[in-house]
Amino acid sequence: MYSSDNVGRNTIAMVLAGGRGERLNPLTMRRAKPSVSFGGKYKIIDFVLSNLFNSGIKKVYILTQYRAYSLNKHIRESWGKWTGLGEFYVAISPETSSESEEWFKGTADAILQYLRFVESSDADYVAVFGGDHIYKMDISQMINYHRMNRADITIAALEVPVEEARRFGVFSVDDDSRVTAFAEKPATPETIPGRATCFASMGNYIFPTKKLIEVLLEGKKQHEDLDFGKHVIPMMLEKGDRVFAYNFNDNQIPGMKSEERGYWKDVGTIDSYYEANMDLIHVSPQLNLYNYKWPILTNQGNLPPAKTVFDDDDRRGQNIDSYVCAGCITSGGTVRRSIIGPLCKINSFSLVEDSILFENVNIGRHAKIRKTIIDKGVVIPDGTIIGYDREADLRRGYTVTESGIVVVPRKDPAIK
């Protein structure tokens, strides 16, 4: 079921999960971006943690920071329960650690603050991965590539068209994919030798343990806000270290379909988040969540099955072309092309179309909801109409994007 390679036993992972995700407001008003729901039952962070778990890497520190409560709770109640015998998935954050520690000032500074965990491990390699992207990856293949090249750092790279590359940190590489230069959001990105595409950084790195300790301690002397993209990679290139790019398109997982190759989403804005979710309900989505050879794991909860209620001519409970999670009741209403999170209730004569409902949302009778994201625990009163009149939605205080997606935030600050 999982990767047969044993490199995971010699690797620890540090997952950077402290991001605010400001462009996803109001969904990130009270939670970190990695804690935002995706695909109904999952959290965004479940994707990188599933990749590590399925790759055999089961010693993982998750570095949380901004609005860390819900994320720490999710890790503790799901990932923290699944390992043992020296294996662990544990969330740590400056909010709950000793008074001497400060909030992270940069991506590398986050690792530096908890360098004692790296120093005390017996691992040969450290995988430093972000916690806020949607993708599937066998990380053991990247580690093998790193070992083969005797690299000092290996950086996961997306192969993207030149016009897209301007949004990323871009590598210049030689014929062996050794990195010769790195530029942040260049106006004229350099292409891969022999191709019309560029290598863009995914923000995921493999280091030999000793090398990581060395470069972080050295970088600390020069930069208070130590960052991998801004400081560490340029510093290593300047020193002549062996820096290699790993082409994500070469990564294969068991059961992968051709349309999944190279699938990676940032979901950093409301529009991109909405589109990535809506892709899941297509007949053949680019991201296949039904691949049981590479499962995306999460906290399932002890919930009953979803059900529909009523089959009368004037009211019929029905879910059409939709994802509907456990514990949901569609009671005489219609759900069409939507993602319905756990424990939701769709009451009689209501219509939910092209929408995303988080956990425990209640849609009142005769309500009409279209192209709307509704946050956790929200109750929509009877007869409410959302997504049909932009000005009316704005007057209610909802966020409405230029493309017409409405976001209904939760109002109870106690709900996490």
pLDDT in tens, 319-360: 999 999 999 999 999 999 999 999 999 999 999 999 999 999
Domain 7-279 part of CATH 2.60.120.10: no
Q: Residue 171: beta bridge partners?
A: 182, 199
Q: Has residue 153 got a pLDDT over 90?
A: yes
Q: Residue 127: beta bridge partners?
A: 13, 206
Q: Has residue 288 got a pLDDT over 60?
A: yes
List, as residue ranges, the binding site for alpha-D-glucose 1-phosphate: 169, 184-185, 201
Report the run of H or E that residue 391 belongs to, with start and end: helix 390-395
pLDDT band at 3 (very low <50, low <70, confident <90, very high): very low
CA distance 109 to 16: 11
Lowest mean pLDDT among 59-73, 230-244, 286-300, 319-333: 59-73
Average pLDDT over residues 101-119: 81
Give percent of the chain above pLDDT 70.
Answer: 94
Q: Could you tell me the residue ranges of all domains in the chain?
A: 7-279, 307-408
Decide whether 7-279 matches 307-408 in CATH topology: no
Write out pLDDT tens, residues 71-104. Answer: 888 998 889 887 776 789 998 876 444 444 456 6
Measured CA angle at 374 (ends 410, 27), to 5 deg: 60
CA distance 114 to 285: 39
CA distance 309 to 307: 7
CATH tag, 307-408: 2.160.10.10
As given in the structure block, the two tokens for residue 325 are 């999670």
List, as residue ranges, the binding site: 169, 184-185, 201
Q: Has residue 20 got a pLDDT over 90?
A: no
Q: Has residue 231 got a pLDDT over 50?
A: yes
Confidence (pTM): 0.93
Give percent of the chain above pLDDT 90.
Answer: 74
As given in the structure block, the two tokens for residue 316 are 């019929």
As given in the structure block, the two tokens for residue 413 are 């600050």
- Structure confidence at residue 30 (pLDDT): 85
In the chain, DSSP finds a helix count (H) and a strand count (E) of 10, 29
- Structure confidence at residue 44 (pLDDT): 96
Best CA proximity match to 247, nearest among 168, 190, 189, 179: 179
- Structure confidence at residue 1 (pLDDT): 36
Average pLDDT over residues 181-202: 92
> What rounded mean pLDDT belongs to the chain?
91
